[in-house]
Amino acid sequence: MTSGLHVACIMDGNGRWAEHRGLPRTAGHTEGEENLARIVRVAVRRDIGWLTVFGFSTENWVRPRGEVRHILGLHERLFGRVRELNELNVRIQWIGRPFDSAEARTPKYVQRAIRKAIHDTATNTGMVLTVAFDYGGRAELMSAVRAARASGEPVTPETIGTHLYLPELPPVDVLVRTSGERRVSNFLLWQSAGAKIHFSEAPWPDFDERELDAALALVR
């Protein structure tokens, strides 16, 4: 069973990173996906037990269609990095609106990539990388309350916890937000209730080993 710190990252600033360089916003998202791969490697070296990243929120669907298509393709590629994840002994999982729910919007081809990645890394025993896609903290809490009521259970903190999207996800120890923003943006509201928060001025593509160590210093 994986133990160790749970670090959660709101990967903000990809578009601004690109705009500051005179590049299209999609270039920033591409670089952000590459930086996630770099941060995963660093997190493994730091013996982090759980790394959860905010890939795409329930609110992000209103972005320009071309940008959304690009981000979807990047997530398909992210979930396709199975060989590297296996070499790192990383198990991948996903958190978001269930594919069979009426509100879910994850395209079929991304669903297939998610399921395959979960299956192909299921026996790994190292760090757990959880990607939040089509995820919103309020939607998760509403779903948990509805499920508790439907089962006839009283709505308590304990029953809500058992009906979250991923009940096994441990409490967040440190929450990271990049690009100078000072807000948590509907991310892991329940799981981050007691977390330390590290606000970084760096946009996500520039978030590096030094920045991660600064976040870890809050809890180590």
**How confident is the model over 5-27, as pLDDT tens digits?**
999 999 999 999 999 999 999 99
The verdict on whether 60 is a catalytic residue reads yes
Q: Which of 14, 35, 47, 60 is catalytic?
A: 60
State the amino acid at position 87 in one-letter form: E
Report whether pLDDT(35) > 50.
yes
Q: Which of 12, 35, 124, 134 is catalytic?
A: 12
**Distance between CA atoms of 52 and 54, rounded to whole angstroms?**
7
The verdict on whether 120 is a catalytic residue reads no
Residue range 51-84, pLDDT digits in tens: 999 999 999 999 999 999 999 998 888 898 999 9
pLDDT given for residue 107 in this prediction: 94
Residue range 135-182, pLDDT digits in tens: 999 999 999 999 999 999 999 999 999 999 999 999 999 999 999 999
